[in-house]
Amino acid sequence: MNHTATTVADTHQKALEVNLDATSFGSFAEIGAGQEVARWFLRVGAASGTVAKTVSAYDKEVSDDLYGSGTRYVSRPRLETMLDCEWKSLVQQIGDARGKDTRLFAFADTIAARNFAGTNDCHGWIGVRFQDHPRAEASDILLHVNLRDNANLLQQEAVGILGVNLLHALLNERAAPGDLPARMFDNLANDRLEIDQIVMRGHAFAGCRMDELHTALARDGRAQAVTLDSDGVAVAANEFLYKKSVAIVPLANDPRDDLSPEAIVACLETLRREVAGNPEVKDVIDVRLMVVDSDAPLPAMGKGAAMMTRHRQLYRATAFARRYTQAPLRFAIPLPALIRIFDDVRYQHLEGRLLEGIARLFGSNVRVLAYPCPREKLLPLLETELGRGWEVDGSRQWITADQLLPAPPLRHLYEYLLASGFLVAMPGN
């Protein structure tokens, strides 16, 4: 049954509807700060119709005794071990008694909410193994979530609402896979948490396009960004970017504005030389930045890792990457994209307009590597509204960033960025 109500049922009502549905029954296992989900079903009434067991493995030794040691407590491997153990236990204990007429489920989460000092990465993994009809082969859904509230109690509250939404969508609404992200954010503002990775497996999700699902997460603001590995598979950003030095390469709508593979390799080599011997840098990677702010077809990514976001301002990519790595961060861009960086229209929403946008872009250890452009390609751009006031110094066929100058007073800021090394004019051919 698809979600068709004109108003969203509150979380209390959703939990009660799950409890009153005699066709579903399951267990809850929660590690760390994610103990709010089971509490919803226990406090709204009629919990005996839904809850077979709740486990709150807060202590590490208790958690290890239940699920074994050797994995990080807040990780996908830990979540999958929890689901495996709880599902096996549930089927053994009540499968024969209830399995004929009941859809069984096991809910699990492992969450790190804000610590007392406010210094930790607030995130977690949430999963459900469930049957979409009695005695069916089980299907799984796993979520990686980032908690964005600034208080521990608010983060716990958000996890509780998300968990109720997820179970209600799977068990009561029978929501289509593509509708699940919207259902999970019922009664939750996008700025309270993010979902940046979803794993779906089993026949309940047959035919679901995971690439489309993750694109929608970024496009609809349910994740600040979604990172993809070189195979195009979504990976939680806190794992993918952790302690890595990153070269971000924005993808243009017009492929003619994209950097050549040779230019990207040159950027990576520059970064590798810079961080060589630094024990705090685990790796040097290049990431294509893809803007997904509409339903328009995505530009061809080709091979390589990617970061999908709905935001066109590059300073937002700086802020996102700095959540997970303090290693050197470089933007590799051609001159047409450089001109767009200094377009004041992009910063109308900021109190400090262009100056604030530039300050946010060039954060700690951030540089822009500007690659030269053929004269015949750049000059027509200078005749447009975007390029008004910009001029080229010299007559070389390949124009470099230090030969491309805006009109005053912007020129003073531009020359400062060049002189201070924030903006690097890569040599011409």
Tens-digit pLDDT profile for residues 174-191: 999 999 999 999 999 999
Q: Strand (E) positions, 48-163?
A: 51-56, 103-112, 123-130, 139-147
Residue 256 has pLDDT above 80, yes or no: no
Tens-digit pLDDT profile for residues 377-397: 899 999 999 999 999 988 889
Tens-digit pLDDT profile for residues 343-367: 999 999 999 999 999 999 998 899 9
- Residue 394's CB: how many other CB atoms inside 10 A? 10
Nearest Cα residue to 166 out of 203, 193, 148: 193
Residue 121 has pLDDT above 90, yes or no: yes
Classify 316 in phi/psi space as left (phi over 0), alpha (psi -120 to 50) or beta: alpha
SS3 174: coil
pLDDT band, residue 102 (cuts 50/70/90): very high
**Amino acid making up residue 162:** L
Average pLDDT of the chain, as a whole number: 91
Looking at residue 5, its pLDDT comes to 43
pLDDT band, residue 1 (cuts 50/70/90): very low
Return the percentage of the chain with pLDDT > 70, whole number: 94
Distances (CA, A) of 195 to 127, 129, 147: 12, 18, 9
Token pair, residue 295, equals 């339903």
Question: Which residue is listed with tokens 């406010």?
Answer: 118
Looking at residue 425, its pLDDT comes to 95
Residue 164 neighbours by CB under 8 Å, 6+ apart? 11, 14, 15, 18, 37, 40, 41
Looking at residue 70, its pLDDT comes to 79
Looking at residue 301, its pLDDT comes to 60
- Residue 237's CB: how many other CB atoms inside 10 A? 25
Nearest Cα residue to 128 out of 204, 190, 183, 63: 204
pLDDT band, residue 83 (cuts 50/70/90): very high
55-59, 256-260, 283-287: the lowest-pLDDT one: 256-260
Tens-digit pLDDT profile for residues 284-319: 999 999 999 877 666 566 678 999 999 989 999 999
Looking at residue 186, its pLDDT comes to 94
Instruction: Please give the residue that has the higher pLDDT: either 209 or 59.
Output: 209
**Amino acid making up residue 135:** R
pLDDT band, residue 118 (cuts 50/70/90): confident
Q: CA 349 to CA 278: how far, in whole Å?
A: 38
Within 13 Å and on the Cβ side, how many CA atoms surround 163? 30
Q: CA 346 to CA 355: how far, in whole Å?
A: 11
Residue 58 has pLDDT above 90, yes or no: no
Looking at residue 2, its pLDDT comes to 41
Looking at residue 98, its pLDDT comes to 86
Question: Which residue is listed with tokens 């300073």?
Answer: 315
Q: Is the peptide bond before 409 cis (omega within 30 degrees of 0)?
A: yes
Question: Which residue segments constitute the domains of the chain, with CATH numbers given?
Answer: 11-208 (3.90.950.20), 255-280+315-425 (no CATH)
Q: CA 223 to CA 215: how far, in whole Å?
A: 10
Residue 67 has pLDDT above 50, yes or no: yes
Residue 428 has pLDDT above 80, yes or no: no
Q: Answer for the pair 102, 25: CB distance below 8 angstroms, yes or no.
A: yes
Report the b/e string of 199-212 with b at 16+ CB within 10 A.
bbebebbeeeebee
Residue 57 has pLDDT above 90, yes or no: no
Helices then strands, each counted (H, E), the chain: 14, 18
Mean pLDDT along residues 400-420: 96
Mean pLDDT along residues 144-166: 96
Residue 56 neighbours by CB under 8 Å, 6+ apart? 30, 35, 38
pLDDT band, residue 3 (cuts 50/70/90): very low
Residue 151 has pLDDT above 90, yes or no: yes
Tens-digit pLDDT profile for residues 235-249: 999 999 999 999 999
Looking at residue 291, its pLDDT comes to 92
pLDDT band, residue 32 (cuts 50/70/90): confident
